[in-house]
Amino acid sequence: MPKKEEENFEIKLESAKSVLETLMKPDITLADSVKAYEKGMQELSDAQAILENAVLKIKEIKNS
């Protein structure tokens, strides 16, 4: 995985972890929790896409 993709993957995971910490706060409002949840799910979706792309590249290399 190129360095930029690896950094983006790591950043996406860290962001999702941060969102999880926000969601665990007992004083978070429902509206804020919904916004945070949406952001966290988007970050995880982006990270998953980066990971799937890396897996495809590895498969291509193996099949070469």
* Phi, psi angles (nearest 5°) of residue 27: -95, 10
- At 7, the pLDDT band (50, 70, 90 cuts) reads confident
Alpha helices in 1-64 (DSSP H): 3-23, 30-63
Given a cut of 70, is residue 8 above it in pLDDT?
A: yes
Under 8 Å CB-to-CB from 28, ≥6 apart: which residues?
22, 36
Predicted local confidence at residue 3, as pLDDT: 64
- Give pLDDT tens digits for 10-60: 999 999 999 999 999 999 999 999 999 999 999 999 999 999 999 999 999
